[in-house]
Amino acid sequence: MGVGTLLLGIDIGGTTTTFGLVTPEGEILARGEIPTLPDRPADDLVERICSGVTKLCAGHPDKVPAGVGVGAPNANHHRGTVENPPNLAWGGSVDLAALFRQRFPGRPVVVTNDANAAALGEQCYGGGRGMRDLIVITLGTGVGSGIIANGELLVGASGFAGELGHTTVDPGGRHCACGKRGCLETYVSAPGLCRTVLSLLADRRDETPLRRIPPARLTAHDVYLAARDGDPVARAAFAETGRILGMKLADAVAHTSPEAIFLTGGLAAAGDLLLLPARRSLEEFLFPVYRKSVRLLLSEIPAGDGAILGAAALVLSRTGR
CA dist 214 to 27, 171, 193, 197, 240, Å? 43, 28, 15, 12, 21
Distance of CA 101 to the CA centre of its chain: 25
**Which of 47, 83, 95, 222 is the binder for its own copies (CB under 8 A)?**
83
176: phi then psi, degrees, rounded to nearest 5: -110, 150
Q: To the nearest whole angstrom, how small is the minimum distance from the Cβ of residue 313 to its own copies?
A: 17
Asked if residue 290 binds its own copies (CB under 8 A), the reply is: yes
Q: To the nearest whole angstrom, how small is the minimum distance from the Cβ of residue 118 to its own copies?
A: 16
Distance of CA 246 to the CA centre of its chain: 17
| First-last CA distance in the chain | 6
Residues 6+ apart with CB under 8 A from 111: 69, 70, 71, 72, 75, 76, 77, 80, 81, 82, 96, 97, 100
Contacting its own copies within 198-237 (CB under 8 A): none
- Measured from the CB atom, the residue of 85 and 191 that comes closer to its own copies is 85
Asked if residue 167 binds its own copies (CB under 8 A), the reply is: yes
SS3 73: coil
| CA–CA dist 32, 146 (Å, integer) | 25
Q: To the nearest whole angstrom, how small is the minimum distance from the Cβ of residue 318 to its own copies?
A: 13
Asked if residue 114 binds its own copies (CB under 8 A), the reply is: no
Asked if residue 22 binds its own copies (CB under 8 A), the reply is: no
Contact segment (CB under 8 A) with its own copies among 42-50, 116-124, 150-158, 307-315 equals: 150-158
Asked if residue 91 binds its own copies (CB under 8 A), the reply is: no
| CA–CA dist 31, 51 (Å, integer) | 13
**Which of 1, 30, 64, 178 is the binder for its own copies (CB under 8 A)?**
178
Asked if residue 257 binds its own copies (CB under 8 A), the reply is: yes
Q: Report DSSP state, residue 234.
A: H
Q: 266, 300, 296, 277: which is closest to 125 by C-alpha?
A: 300
Asked if residue 155 binds its own copies (CB under 8 A), the reply is: yes
Asked if residue 51 binds its own copies (CB under 8 A), the reply is: no
- Measured from the CB atom, the residue of 26 and 258 that comes closer to its own copies is 258
Contact segment (CB under 8 A) with its own copies among 8-16, 121-129, 243-251, 297-305 equals: 243-251
User: Where do contacts with its own copies occur on this chain (CB under 8 A)?
Assistant: 74, 83-84, 131-133, 147, 149-150, 152, 154-164, 166-168, 171, 178-180, 183, 247, 250-252, 254-259, 285, 287-290, 293-294
